[in-house]
Structure 1
Amino acid sequence: MGTHVIKMPDIGEGIAEVELSQWHVKVGDLVVEDQVLADVMTDKAMVDIPSPVHGKVIALGGQPGEVMAVGSVLISIEVEGAGNLKESDKPAPVAAKETPVAPKVEAVVESKPAAAAAPRPAPVCQGPMVAREADERPLASPAVRKHALDLGIQLRLVRGTGPAGRVLHEDLEAYLAQGQSNASAPLAAAYAQRNDEEQIQVIGMRRKIAQRMQDATQRAAHFSYVEEIDVTAIEELRAHLNEKHGASRGKLTLLPFLVRALVVALRDFPQMNARYDDEAQVITRLGAVHVGVATQSDVGLMVPVVRHAEARSLWDSAAEISRLANAARNGKASRDELSGSTITLTSLGALGGIVSTPVLNLPEVAIVGVNKIVERPMVVKGQVVIRKMMNLSSSFDHRVVDGMDAALFIQAIRGLLEQPATLFVE
C-alpha cells in the first residue's frame, strides 16, 4: 500500500490561496475516483475538488474556514501501489472526526418551505431514524435545517438519503410520515420550552458575501430612490405573449421586460451603466449592457451575468436568465458567468415587500430593486379603478450619480413599463 497526496490545485487567474469551505469526507472514509472530496472558495466562485484515485482517507490537511496556499497538502489517501507521497508532502495530523459546517454549494434552492403559521408537530416516535452523537452535525442545506426546526424535528435523528448522507426534504417527510402511524404526542409538546443553540461558522460563500457587502457600504456613498409603477399594461402584455407563444418559446416572467427597460433607458442615461475605480478615480462608461441578476442560493446571494442584454430579445433574455439562475443555484456557474456585470437587477419576487434598500454591487454605480406586485385602488381619469402596482427600490453611488439623474432614470424605466409598446419602438 502507498499514499497518494492531493495538493491544493492552481485554479488560475493568479490566485495564490483559497479558503477551504467544506469537507465531504472524513478520515477513514473509502473514496472512489471523481468523488468530490472538498469545496474550496475563491474570490469569485466555489470549486469542487474531486479525487483522482480510489482509496482510503488517512489525513486531512486543513479545517473548514482555513485559508490554504496553492500547492499545500489538502488530503492524503491510502492507495494500492506506491502512491506519490514525498517526505515534504507529509501533512500535519488532524483530528479523525471532521464536522462539516457549511452547506455544499451544489445544493438546489429548496422549493418546500414550511408554513410559518403551522403548529410544530411533536418530534417523538417518528422515523426512519439514525443514531448520531449529540454533538454530530448532519449534512443538510440551510432550507432543510429551517424546515426541520419549524417541524420540531431533531435533525440528528433523521436518516439522510442524499449524497454523503445529506438530509433532504424528502427525508423529513418520510420521518414525519412514519410517525403519523404512531400515537400523537400531547398538545403541550408543541409549546415545550426550548433552550437549544446553534453556532454557524461564517466561512466560504457566506464570508465572501459578508466581506463584499461590508466593503460596498463602507466605500460607496449609497442613496436610494423609490418609484411607484403601474404594471397593469405590461402584465396584460406578458399574459398575452405567454398564451400565444409560451408553449413554443417558453414562459416569460417580468424580469426580461425589466432587462429590456434597463437597456432602453440606459441609452439616455449612460452614466448608470458604469464602473467606478475609486482608487484610480476613474469612471468607465460601457456601451455593452451586462446585467447582473441577483439570485438566491443555499449559500447566499450570487449574481450571474446576462451578457450583452442590449442584443437580446425578450425570449433570449428569459432563457439566459433561467439558465444562469439554475447554474448558480446548482453550484455550476463558472467564474466568468459570475463576474463582469455593469448594472444589477435584484428582485425578491412575491416576497419583495413594499420598499427595499439594495446594496450596490461594486464597482457598479447603480442597482435596480424590484418589489412585489399588488392590486390597489387607483384614481385614473377621475375614476377609481383596480390597478396592479409595483415599486422600484433602487440604489446609487452618490459619488458618481446625482440624485436628479437617478430619479429621471427610474422615471424613464417607469414610462417604458407603463407604456410597454415603447420598449420595442426604435
Structure 2
Amino acid sequence: MIEFKLPDVGEGMHEGEIIQWLIKEGDAVTQDQPIVEVQTDKVNAELTAPITGVVKTILFSAGDTVEVGTTIFTIQEEGELPSKEPASDERDRSQLQPCDEEGGDRLASPWPPEAGRALATPFVRQMAREMKIDLQLVMGTGPAGRIIESDLLQFAQSNSDLREHPVHSNDRILRKREPEKKVNQPTSAETGMEERIRLKGIRKKIAEHMVKSVSTIPHVTHVDELEMEALKELKDQLKAYSEDKEIKLTFLPFFVKAIVIALKEFKTLNASIDETTNEIILKHYYHIGIATNTSEGLIVPVIKHADQKTIFQLADEIRQLATEAREGKLSLEQITGSTFTISNVGPIGGVHATPIINYPEAAILALHKMEPRMVVRDLEGVIRLMMNMSLSFDHRLIDGVTAVQFTNRIKELLENPIRLVVEMR
C-alpha cells in the first residue's frame, strides 16, 4: 500500500486546496493517470497516480485545504495482496493517522475515531469552536464519516432556533449554547442580506502577497503623462503588416520595449533586496510581468527575456499568456521570476492609481486610459491623445530623482517612437 502525500508543486508552497477528485475509491488506475486537481497560490495542478493499482482510500474532500506532506489518498499496487485485518483493536495507525495540533486523530485517518472524539480536520475543529458547535452532535458526511465544513454549516442552519438545553448523546449530557450577544450584532434583516464567502485559494494568496508587499516595501508613487499621437500613428502603420502575420498589435509591446531600455540604464528599478543577507540584487535579465485580470483574481504571467524579442513576438506572447491565464492553464514557469511588472488598467478606465509593487520587485508601472485632452504646446492650447502612467517604487532602493528620470526616459522613447525603433536591440 502506498500513501500519496501532497507534494510541493510551487516555489515553497505550504498548502493546497483540493479542487476536485478525478477518481473515486475502488477505481483501478494506471501510472501517471490524473487523480486529483489541486489549487495553489500560483497555479492549478493535476496530480497523477504514482503506480498502477487500485485507489483504496480518499482522505480529503473537494474544498479542503491540505498541508504539504500530508497523505491525501492511498493506492494498492497492482497484484499486491490485500493487507490482513488486525486480530485485535490494537491496529497500527502510525502511517495513516498523523496527529493534529490537539494531539488527537487527524481526519486523514481511515480508521474509526477514538470513542468520544469526532473525526474532523484541525480547520473544521477551529471552525466549530468559532461557531460554538459541539462536534459530537454533528453527523459527518466525509470519508469514514468525518465532519466537513458543509456539515457544520448545515448543522448550524438546522439548529439555529434551539435554545440552551441538555442533549443526551453516548450516555453523556451535552449542551447547546446560545450565541454570545455581541455589541452591534447585525439584526436578522441585515443578516439575511449578507453573503459570506470564505477567503481561500488564489484570492487568499493575493491578499497575503499584497499585505507582504505593503508591510515590507515603503511605497512611493510618481505620476506622469504621455502624448500618444506619434505612437498611435506608428501602430496604425504596422496594422496591415501585423494582420498578415495574424498578430493583434496593441500598445503594450511598445511599452515593454521602452521599459526594458530604461531598465538597462536605471538598474535599481530591475533589482530586489534580500532581507536575509541585507544585499541588493541587481538583475541583468529582463523578465516583464503583465498583470492580467481573471475570474480567479489577478494573475501575473511573465515574458522571459523581453529584451531579446521583437515587437511582434512580444505581441503574440502577451496574447497567448493572457488567454492561458483566463483559462487557468498557465504553468508555474510562466508565472514566476518577473523582475518588473506592468499593470495595464487603461482598457477599463481610470486616470490615476497607486499600484502595489509585486514583491520582491522594486517597482511597478500602471498604464491608464488614453483620451483626447487639452494641453499647451508652444503657448497654445491644442487637443492631443494623452495617457497617464503611475510608477510605484521601493524607496529603500530608488530615490525620487531616479524614478522621475526613469519615466522621463520612457516618455522620450514612446513620444518619439522612431528613437525607440533605433535603440531597440
Q: Among residues 49, 58, 71, which one is paired with 1:73 in the alignment?
A: 71
1:289 Cα deviation after fit: 1.2
Q: Show the 5 A alignment for 1:117-128.
A: none
Q: Show the 5 A alignment for 1:42-121.
A: 44-50=42-48, 59-61=58-60, 64=63, 66-70=65-69, 72-75=70-73, 88-89=95-96, 91-92=108-109, 95-96=140-141
CA distance in 2, matches of 1:321, 1:206: 23
Q: Among residues 367, 372, 376, which one is paired with 2:373 in the alignment?
A: 376
CA distance in 1, matches of 2:323, 2:301: 10
Aligned to 2:261: 264
1:282 Cα deviation after fit: 1.1
CA distance in 2, matches of 1:386, 1:255: 23
1:391 Cα deviation after fit: 0.6
CA distance in 2, matches of 1:298, 1:54: 37
1:374 Cα deviation after fit: 1.3
CA distance in 2, matches of 1:420, 1:369: 20
Counterpart residue identity of residue 354, structure 1: V
The answer on whether the counterparts of 1:65 and 1:204 sit within 8 Å (CA) in structure 2 is: no
CA distance in 2, matches of 1:381, 1:235: 22
CA distance 1:83–1:388, change in 2 (3 Å): farther
Aligned to 2:5: 8
Aligned to 1:239: 236
CA distance in 1, matches of 2:204, 2:26: 28
Q: Show the 5 A alignment for 1:5-404.
A: 7-11=4-8, 15=12, 17-24=14-21, 34=33, 37-41=36-40, 44-50=42-48, 59-61=58-60, 64=63, 66-70=65-69, 72-75=70-73, 88-89=95-96, 91-92=108-109, 95-96=140-141, 195-404=192-401
Counterpart residue identity of residue 287, structure 1: H
Counterpart residue identity of residue 363, structure 2: A
CA distance in 1, matches of 2:370, 2:11: 45
Q: Among residues 406, 410, 421, which one is paired with 2:407 in the alignment?
A: 410
- Give CA deviations for 1:106-134 in whole Å, capped at 9, x if unaligned: xxxxxxxxxxxxxxxxxxxxxxxxxxxx9
Indicate the SS of the match to 1:424: helix
CA distance in 1, matches of 2:354, 2:211: 14
Aligned to 1:156: none
1:79 Cα deviation after fit: 11
CA distance 1:208–1:384, change in 2 (3 Å): same
CA distance in 2, matches of 1:223, 1:36: 46
1:423 Cα deviation after fit: 0.6
Runs of at least 5 residues in structure 2 that lack an aligned partner in the other structure: 85-91, 98-107, 110-118, 121-139, 155-189
Aligned to 1:419: 416
The answer on whether the counterparts of 1:27 and 1:97 sit within 8 Å (CA) in structure 2 is: no
1:276 Cα deviation after fit: 1.4
CA distance 1:56–1:285, change in 2 (3 Å): closer
Runs of at least 5 residues in structure 1 that lack an aligned partner in the other structure: 102-133, 136-192
1:318 Cα deviation after fit: 1.1
1:300 Cα deviation after fit: 1.3
CA distance in 1, matches of 2:369, 2:302: 22
1:205 Cα deviation after fit: 1.4
Identity of aligned residues (%): 31
CA distance 1:64–1:420, change in 2 (3 Å): same
CA distance 1:296–1:328, change in 2 (3 Å): same
CA distance in 1, matches of 2:228, 2:56: 58
Indicate the SS of the match to 2:312: helix
Q: Which deviates more from structure 2 when the two are superposed, residues 202-211 or residues 222-231?
A: 202-211
CA distance in 2, matches of 1:242, 1:273: 31
CA distance 1:84–1:323, change in 2 (3 Å): farther
CA distance 1:330–1:415, change in 2 (3 Å): same
CA distance 1:250–1:25, change in 2 (3 Å): closer
Counterpart residue identity of residue 305, structure 2: H
CA distance in 2, matches of 1:250, 1:83: 58
Of the two structures, which has the highest relative contact order with CA contacts closer than 8 Å and spacing of 6 or more? 1
